[in-house]
């Protein structure tokens, strides 16, 4: 429950292409809250390493890249490539990288009026005390279809089977890592968007948020 006048902190987690990012943006706009897509912080680390020709398994280099990340300078369009997401999932296994990025993410979350954060470990690790948590999911096939259509829509080329294999591999890495694996917080509201439009998911989320406010 959110105390009247208290911060409206909303934690949203889920696997790649589940719809969590779109939902987070809609919620942030509706409640006029600042929003952080924490995936961009891992993507920025990955991209800096790729640009410098560094090995993604090099934990020391990844830590240095994480320390240099400025949340105010994250550029979604420059970080959106499929390959950067895959590389982000690899640098995200390093505990030292997670420690630095989680610290920055908590700094963002602590805004007096509240905020919306989306990622993989927001409800479980970054903001375990968030009064409202969502876990957004969809079947791997539905998520792969969305990714595939999005790439084609943007003028790219992609094989559905390759994208599906990527989605399954990314899930396995994000859910199987030792530090902060992707999983729903015990008190998260589950939203399965496999057969639900984003508008319906947004309506369901709004009703949960509005009920949590006193
Ligand atoms: O949400 P995304 O696809 O932009 O995230 C890219 C990768 O970053 C994801 O596969 C795992 C990692 N990530 C994470 O480990 N923890 C988060 N809170 C957000 C993203």
DSSP 107: H
Looking at residue 2, its pLDDT comes to: 66
- Kindly state if the Cβ of 20 falls inside 6 Å of ligand 1: no
| Phi and psi, residue 213, nearest 5° | -85, 135
Q: Is the pLDDT confidence value at 190 over 80?
A: yes
- Kindly state if the Cβ of 120 falls inside 6 Å of ligand 1: yes
Cα 94 to ligand 1 centroid, rounded to whole Å? 12
Q: pTM for the complete prediction?
A: 0.95
Q: How far apart are CA 128 and CA 185, in angstroms?
A: 8
pLDDT in tens, 113-158: 999 999 999 999 999 999 999 999 999 999 999 999 988 998 999 9
Q: Are 125 and 95 in contact (CB under 8 A)?
A: no
Looking at residue 82, its pLDDT comes to: 85
pLDDT band at 210 (very low <50, low <70, confident <90, very high): very high
Cα 214 to ligand 1 centroid, rounded to whole Å? 32
Looking at residue 5, its pLDDT comes to: 65
Looking at residue 57, its pLDDT comes to: 98
Residues 6 or more apart whose Cβ sits within 8 Å of residue 118: 11, 12, 13, 14, 20, 21, 23, 24, 35, 36, 37, 38, 39
Mutate to test the pocket of ligand 1, among 38, 81, 104 (most ligand atoms within 8 A of CB): 38
Mutate to test the pocket of ligand 1, among 50, 119, 150, 168 (most ligand atoms within 8 A of CB): 119
Q: Is the pLDDT confidence value at 204 over 80?
A: yes
Average confidence score pLDDT of the chain: 95
The token duo for 167 is 């989605």
pLDDT in tens, 53-102: 999 999 999 999 999 999 999 999 999 988 999 999 999 999 999 999 99
Strand partners, 165: none
- Kindly state if the Cβ of 89 falls inside 6 Å of ligand 1: yes
What does the chain come to in residues?
Answer: 214
Looking at residue 66, its pLDDT comes to: 98
User: Which atom of ligand 1 is closest in space to residue 42's alpha carbon?
Assistant: 8
Looking at residue 186, its pLDDT comes to: 98
Q: How far apart are CA 14 and CA 3, in angstroms?
A: 26
Instruction: Give strand ranges (E) for 26-67.
Output: 35-37
Looking at residue 202, its pLDDT comes to: 98
Domains of the chain: 1-34+113-214 (3.40.50.300), 39-110 (no CATH)
């Amino acid at each position: 429950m959110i105390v009247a006048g208290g911060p409206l902190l909303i934690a949203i987690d889920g696997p790649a292409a589940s719809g969590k990012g779109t939902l987070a943006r809609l919620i942030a706009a509706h409640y006029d809250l600042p929003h952080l897509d924490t995936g961009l912080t891992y993507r920025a680390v990955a991209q800096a390493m790729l640009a410098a020709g560094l090995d993604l398994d090099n934990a020391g280099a990844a830590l240095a890249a994480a320390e240099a990340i400025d949340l105010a300078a994250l550029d979604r369009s420059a970080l959106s490539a499929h390959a950067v997401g895959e590389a982000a999932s690899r640098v995200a296994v390093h505990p030292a990288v997670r420690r630095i990025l989680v610290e920055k993410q908590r700094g963002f979350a602590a805004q007096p009026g509240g905020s919306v954060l989306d990622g993989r470990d927001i409800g479980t690790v970054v903001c375990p005390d968030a009064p409202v948590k969502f876990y957004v999911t969809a079947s791997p096939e539905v998520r792969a279809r969305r990714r595939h259509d999005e790439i084609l829509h943007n003028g790219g080329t992609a094989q559905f089977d390759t994208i599906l294999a990527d989605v399954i591999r990314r899930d396995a890495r994000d859910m199987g890592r030792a530090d902060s694996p992707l999983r729903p917080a015990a008190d998260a509201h589950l939203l399965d968007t496999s057969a639900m439009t984003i508008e319906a998911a947004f309506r369901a989320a709004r009703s949960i948020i509005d009920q949590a406010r006193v």
